[in-house]
Amino acid sequence: MEILPLIVLFLSFFLLMGVGLPISFAMGLSTLATLAMMFSFDQALFIMAQKMVVGFDSFTLLALPFFILAGNIMTTGGIARRLINLAKMVGQPLPGSLAHTNILANMMFGSVSGSAVASAAAVGGVMTPEMRRAGYDMKFGAAVNIASCTTGLLIPPSGTFIIYSLISGGTSVAALFVAGYLPGILLGGAMMLVAGIMAARAGHKGQGLPTLRELGFAIADAILPLGLVVIIMGGIISGIVTATEAAGIAVIYAFILALFVYREMTYRDLPKVVMDTGMTTGIVMLLVGISSAMSWTMTFADMPYMIQQALEAVSENPLMVLLFINISLLIIGTFMDLTPALLIFTPIFLPVAQDMGMDPVHFGVMMTLNLCIGICTPPVGSALFVGSSIAGVPVWSVLRPIIPFYLAFAAVLAIVTLVPDVSLLLPRLFLGYGG
């Protein structure tokens, strides 16, 4: 067991990232350098190419580009506005009604797009002018949008869970999807509680109950977009379709809605939608392939075993080990985006968690929720920068109003970590999941 290859791997990785190299290339070059230390350079090239191909060789992974395409079609096709109108009716009676509308809309749009950044852009683009006209402090408005857009990474369909399924050795995508509902709703509820208290202190009152006519129109307008969730999850839970087949159905359904039913997307928009999908998919697939080689290298160098031994030397208490893992992920999330962090650190921490008896679905939900915090924090939080830009406020000015939402994140993370049934109850009920 030698620690030198691991030192070279991580030292070169962070050094290359520090000089501004894209993270996928930093991962690839550091992995290649480490493999060349352990084998010959020719063997290192062969192993890396082989492990990248193995990383791509997954039928489940095909679901990812389909869900990305479906989300892009929905963003272009006017579906966000219809979900926001329904969210308005639900949040209207509550103090700070527009803040609640933003959170509910992010939960609903995230559940059909599966992208936090897409939700922040689409929902924030509609809600920002309304909140500004209503006299809301836009720093608070940006904080609400940034924090709540992450709920879409937990409420299915979630591309994050597909990636985790692949990197964790085939954890059930269906179980992960169903497991994300309760934590996602719990997180959204915590966001609404914080937003309601802050809005009430600022003097923002509710707007009264909507009329049955208004509520009926909003439900009728949003029923078709929400039907996508029913079709996808209903098909997966019933066993009629796999996650990959459900993703293909999602594309067809979104295409019909955007092009023929709502007619807010035209054939001229399709090249840009497809190009955006191809670029996003290409970035993710490159990360997946390279991370497979990096994960194999870490495993070959006995890194999971070393970490397990180190943690057991510090404490044999499972709660202390989970606390260490969560704190580590919180720190990692502040300077690394969610997808690469998931790809790199799942093979490191998952074996440790499983040796303590933790279910991989429970761990996947915990890890995803933890890393969601990172996309809302500086210095690399993608949702933080997008949400601030949409609201037209400096990034630094959002940090103070978003602190209470960080506390809500921490509270929900603690509940999800310590109460496995929050993640595992629904998979057991609907799928007979036994872990």
Give the Cα-Cα-Cα angle 258, 261, 264 (nearest 5 degrees): 45
Encode the chain (435 residues) as per-residue pLDDT tens digits: 568 888 888 899 889 988 888 888 888 999 999 999 989 999 999 999 998 888 877 777 888 888 888 888 887 887 777 888 888 888 888 888 999 999 998 888 776 666 787 788 888 888 899 899 889 999 999 999 999 999 988 988 888 898 899 888 889 999 999 999 999 999 999 999 999 999 989 888 877 788 888 888 888 888 888 888 888 888 888 888 888 888 899 899 989 998 998 888 888 999 999 998 898 888 888 888 888 888 888 888 887 778 777 777 777 788 888 998 999 899 888 877 788 888 888 988 998 898 888 999 999 999 999 999 988 988 778 888 889 988 999 989 999 999 999 999 999 999 999 999 999 999 999 988 875
Q: Which residues contact 30 (CB under 8 A, 6 or more apart)?
A: 8, 9, 10, 12, 13, 16, 294
User: Do the beta carbons of residue 164 and residue 346 sit within 8 Å?
Assistant: yes
Tokens representing residue 125 in the block:
């683009």
d(CA 154, CA 188): 10
d(CA 72, CA 49): 31
pTM: 0.86
Q: What is the DSSP letter of 369?
A: H
- Give me the residue label for tokens 């000015």: 397
Tokens representing residue 5 in the block:
């290859």
Tell me the Ramachandran region of residue 163: left when phi exceeds 0, alpha when psi lies from -120 to 50, beta otherwise: alpha
d(CA 250, CA 296): 33
- Give me the residue label for tokens 């904080």: 143
User: Do the beta carbons of residue 292 and residue 342 sit within 8 Å?
Assistant: no
